[in-house]
Structure formats: C-alpha cells, structure tokens
Amino acid sequence: MENLKIKLLKYAGHPHQWPWFVLIAAGLLVLIYWIVFRALPWTSDPSAWGSFGDYMGGLLNPAVSTLTLVVAIKVWAQQREELEETKRALKDQAETAQANRREQRFFDLMQVYQQTLDTFQGVSEQSNARQGKAALDIWLDSHIHLEGMIRKSYLRAQSSPGSQNIEDQLDYWIDLAKQHWAKPYVGESLNHYFRVIFRILHDAEDLLEQDRHRFIRIFRAQLSHTELLLLGLNLWITEEGQKMQPIACEYGLLKHLPQCNLRDVLEKDLPPLVFGRRFAEIKASQS
C-alpha cells in the first residue's frame, strides 16, 4: 500500500505521465478480463458488452478518482508552499527596505555632520582660506591657551613620575585650558558641531539597532585628530559634554585620541570605555 502511494505521488508530480497511467491500467484490466473469461465464446450480445463496460468503469473510475484527488492535494500543497515562499520573500523585502531607510537616515545625519563642518571657515598664515576640517585645525592652532593641553610631547613623558615641577606645569595648563574654554567665543562657537555629533551617536541605536557599532566605527574613523582633541575638551570641561560621556563610552569615541597632555589627563578623569578600552584590556593593563 505504501509503495502504491509513493507511485501515485510520483505520477501526480509529472502530469504528462497521467494518460500513460490510465492507458496502462486499462490495458491491465483488459488482460485480466481476457485471462479469466477467455474460455467463453465471442459474443455480439449488447448486454455482455454492457457488463464488460461496467467491469472496466467500476475498476477504472476509483483509480482515476483517487489519482485526481492525489493531484488536487499535490497542487494545493504546491500552491500553499508557493504562498509561504511569497510571504517570506515579501517579509524579507520589507525588512530590507526598512533597513535601507534606516541606514539612509543615518547617512543623512552624516551629511548634516559634513555640512556642519563646512560652516567652519579659517585663514591660514599664508592667507589661504580654509574650510571644514582644515579650518578647525586653524581654529585650534589660534588658541594658544589650549596649546599646553594638546602638545604631543606631553609633560609627563619628559620626567620621572611624581616630579613636582612637571605636575605644577600640567596643573597650570589644565586651569588655563578650562578658563579659556569657558569663554563664550571659544566653547560656544563649537556647540552646534558637538550637538550634531551627539545626535549621530544618540540616534544610531534607533536607526541601526544591532549594526550601530559597525556604522559608528565608520564614522569614528572619519574624525581627525583636531576633532578628537576638541571632543575630548568638550567631554572633560562642559556640562553638555559630561552628559555625553555615557554614549561616548558605548562607542569608544576617543579611542584614536592622539597622545598628549589632554589624553594623559582624560585617562584619569574619564571612564576607560571612552577610549575603547574594554574590561579585559583594563584588567590586563593592571596585572
């Protein structure tokens, strides 16, 4: 019985074989009829041929009906499978479209970031106009009161740890930098830039979900050393920057901050996660 079902399903899967199936079944029935009743004489009696027709119909009709039912079930199963595949494809398309829209919104924020950079204008010593990141470089170089905090050959590296003279100089530069940054024309001139950075970091979770860290790493790689220095000063000194510290920790915003007096101070005052240092790295450095 099981073999018969398998064969029926096999034929149901190949509609072009159905006529052959019916012909073979009819031929077998005729052969069986002839073997059983071959001893009887040939007749032209219509009633005898009627009985033969009833015999053929009575055996073929259930087989054909069964085959038709199997075919109908097979077609229904195929249609159901195709419908499920269509639903899955539509769902995948919808999810892909939603992801693309979210990514596009993130890149729109990146464009706002670039436009914000372009609002900065500066003139170099050669009287050449600069824009964007180059203008920020000029801006930072022009604020000599911050120079002690951003110099690369930072003070703690110039002498043995604990040197009072070095500590005093560093404290002097720290106080000078904080006082200078608090002036309205200094820190406030960059507020809109910092707010755009915060918005990019803040909205990344809603827009990109589990992919947000990958995209933020792409954004973080675009930050110049000057931008990182300015972000470090903002996180350290201003009230808005201090509110931004948790999200800066999540993405290791200052991971590529160059070695300087500022980094030396920030590594003591800010959480290690701001510099992209995870728990395992911190534990290893302490052991």
- For residue 182, tell me if it sits in a domain: yes
Q: How confident is residue 224, by pLDDT bands cut at 50, 70 and 90?
A: very high
Do residues 34 and 140 both lie within one domain? no
Do residues 166 and 60 both lie within one domain? no
Do residues 74 and 152 both lie within one domain? no
For the chain, state the CA radius of gyration. Answer: 41
Do residues 169 and 72 both lie within one domain? no
Hey, what are 243's tokens?
């509110």
Residue 71 structural domain: 2-38+45-103
Burial 55-81 (b: 16+ CB within 10 A, else e): eeeebeeeeeeebeebbeebeeeeeee
The whole-model pTM stands at 0.65
Q: What is the pLDDT of residues 166-204, one digit of tens each?
A: 677 778 888 888 888 888 777 778 889 999 999 999 999
Do residues 146 and 193 both lie within one domain? yes
- For residue 27, tell me if it sits in a domain: yes
Do residues 93 and 182 both lie within one domain? no
Share of the chain above pLDDT 70, in %: 69
CA 137 to chain centre: 34
Task: Determine the pLDDT at residue 21.
Answer: 61
- For residue 171, tell me if it sits in a domain: yes
Task: Determine the pLDDT at residue 283.
Answer: 47
Hey, what are 98's tokens?
């939603």
- For residue 19, tell me if it sits in a domain: yes
Q: What is the pLDDT of residues 42-75, one digit of tens each?
A: 666 666 666 666 666 666 677 677 777 777 888 8
- For residue 113, tell me if it sits in a domain: no
Domain count, the chain: 2
Do residues 135 and 261 both lie within one domain? yes
Q: Which of 16-25, 58-67, 157-166 has the highest mean pLDDT?
A: 58-67
Cα–Cα distance measured from residue 136 to residue 38, given in angstroms and rounded to the nearest whole number: 109
Do residues 276 and 170 both lie within one domain? yes
Cα–Cα distance measured from residue 124 to residue 138, given in angstroms and rounded to the nearest whole number: 6
Task: Determine the pLDDT at residue 248.
Answer: 94
Do residues 154 and 237 both lie within one domain? yes
Do residues 144 and 89 both lie within one domain? no
Q: How many CB atoms lie within 10 A of CB 32?
A: 12
Q: How confident is residue 143, by pLDDT bands cut at 50, 70 and 90?
A: confident
Q: Is the pLDDT of residue 97 over 90?
A: no
Do residues 280 and 151 both lie within one domain? yes
CB within 8 Å of 59: residues ≥ 6 apart: 29
- For residue 231, tell me if it sits in a domain: yes
Task: Determine the pLDDT at residue 208.
Answer: 86
- For residue 75, tell me if it sits in a domain: yes
- For residue 116, tell me if it sits in a domain: no
Do residues 58 and 187 both lie within one domain? no
Task: Determine the pLDDT at residue 282.
Answer: 47
